[in-house]
Amino acid sequence: MNAPNSRLPLRCWAEIDLAALERNLRLIRASLPAHIRYVAVVKADAYGHGLHQTVARLMHSGADLFAVATLAEATAVRELGPGWPVLLLSPLLPEEDHYLADYDLAATVSTADEVQRFDAVGRAAGRPVAVHLKIDTGMGRLGVWHEQAPALYAQIAASPHLRLAGVFTHFASPDDDSAFTEEQRRRFLAALARCEGIKLSELFVHADNSSGLETMPGASPFNAVRVGLLQFGILPHPNSLLAQVHTEPVLSFRTRVGITKTLPRGTTVSYGRTHTLTRDTVIAVLCAGYGDGIPRSVSNRAQVLIAGQRCPVLGRVTMDQTIVDVTGVPGVKCGDEVVLVGRQDGAEISVSEFSRWADTIPWETLCSVSKRVPRLYRTALGV
């Protein structure tokens, strides 16, 4: 396991199993038809897993393209691997445009204004800028509205300093509305059918993210998938057909016990006095709070693992400490390891379970593990 920058003892940390990430990518690939290319979505610091380490491992494991949100992320990926296509999923600000040429990045195009701006960048650089045309089929966010997509495509095709590298759309409810997902696919394919002269086989044609994958049609022009959550070993929703793809969690989130003490029945615990002890209770004060990424919304709801046993959170999570009930776990002491998300002695708390306590989704939980939390990387390939 790699040491973090600091040599100080760990109080709260995330362990990232890069070998599991690699196995996940291979499993997902194996579950898809061989011609489907793998777009690794690594925005938001690779969903909190650490951009550099994650991307380096995914390059080694055979990702075909990296999708990011910001220019900073895009340039970081470019510096790691000159050969890989990098797609910016978010719009660029005008003063960011020239980086497309400087760093050989592909831009998402939704508007005629972007076509003109990126064409000007290609002209100034003396080589075409790569773009992916995004088509809004019902997400109502980025992309040209599907009915207007053929006109925007024609503008791109007529721009000498642009190179169309891909076309894509994004599903609004792939996890719980298959009828609307199908409608979005239909709109996308209908729009492409009206793009005169488009050569889909030469482009990345992509729509499916971790949820959409399960409704992906067999024979169709789709030839790439954009995978974020699933590569980190988390199913997008509990009834996912992808449960058959046995990916494993890549990240675990851990802290340690600061102090233990016994408090008498009737004592209230933490800010706001939202929990009153119903018996004499042994509490453990943990070395992590919302400053580390344990959201306040899990107050009085979450559980943690200590010695493989579930211990309930008592009262409100505070910035640097969280209080749990360890009455049922004899011998807990200062320094003991605590699992917030992950496995310990045969027990497990998944990101999904933790997210339900927080009334949020796994994507947000992963992105919320704060900068204060060092990431430790396991690198062995394993079996």
Ligand X SMILES: Cc1ncc(COP(=O)(O)O)c(C=O)c1O
* 134 annotated active-site: no
Chain positions 264 to 293 lying near ligand X, rule: CB under 6 A, are none
**Choosing from 153, 199, 261, 271, which is the catalytic residue?**
271
Question: 3-class SS at 156?
Answer: helix
Choice from 236, 258, 293, 342 touching ligand X (CB under 6 A): 236
The full length of the chain comes to 383
Of 164 and 224, nearer to ligand X (C-beta) is 224
The distance from CA 307 to its chain's CA centroid, rounded to whole angstroms, is 29
Q: Using the rule CB under 6 A, which residue among 27, 41, 133, 294 binds ligand X?
A: 41
Indicate whether 132 belongs to the interface with ligand X (CB under 6 A). Answer: no
Residue in 43, 47, 153, 377 annotated catalytic: 43
Helix (H, G, I), strand (E, B) or coil at 40: strand
Are residues 255 and 239 in contact, defined by beta-carbon separation less than 8 angstroms? Answer: no
CB under 6 A: which stretch of 20-28, 54-62, 224-232, 353-361 binds ligand X?
224-232
167 vs 304, beta carbon nearer ligand X: 167
The rounded distance, in Å, linking the Cα atoms of 246 and 70 is 31
247 in contact with ligand X (CB under 6 A): no
Distance CA(142)–CA(336), nearest Å, equals 47
Applying CB under 6 A, among 226, 254, 316, 375 the residue interacting with ligand X is 226
Nearer to ligand X, 227 or 277 (CB): 227
- Rounded to a whole number of angstroms, the minimum distance from the CB of residue 235 to ligand X is 10
For position 365 contacting ligand X by CB under 6 A, the verdict is no
Helix (H) or strand (E) holding 240: none
Tokens of 337: 């390891």
Nearer to ligand X, 248 or 337 (CB): 248
**Closest CB 178 distance from ligand X, rounded Å:** 15
- Cα separation of 169 and 79, whole Å? 27
Let me know if 271 is a catalytic residue.
yes
Decide the pairing of beta strands 12-17 and 251-263.
antiparallel
Assess 144 for contact with ligand X (CB under 6 A).
Answer: no
Question: What does the alpha-carbon distance between residue 88 and residue 374 come to, in Å, rounded to a whole number?
Answer: 27
* Rg of the chain (C-alpha set): 24
Q: How many residues bind ligand X (CB under 6 A)?
A: 12
- 3 state SS of 114: helix
The helix (H) or strand (E) run that includes residue 43 is: helix 43-47
**Taking CB under 6 A as the rule, does residue 49 contact ligand X?**
no
Binders of ligand X among 189-218, rule CB under 6 A? Answer: 209-211
Here's the x/- map for ligand X, 86-125, by CB under 6 A: it reads as ---x------------------------------------
Q: Return the residue nearest ligand X (CB atom).
A: 228
Question: Given the DSSP bridges, would you call strands 162-168 and 251-263 parallel, antiparallel or unpaired?
Answer: unpaired
Contact status: 315 vs ligand X (CB under 6 A): no
The set of residues, in sequence order, having a beta carbon less than 8 Å from that of 181 and lying 6+ positions away, is 171, 173, 174, 212, 215
Name the residue among 136, 147, 77 with its Cα closest to residue 108. 136
Q: Which is nearer to ligand X, 136 or 325 (CB)?
A: 136
Active site residues: 43, 271
Site for ligand X, rule CB under 6 A: 41, 89, 170, 209-211, 226-230, 236
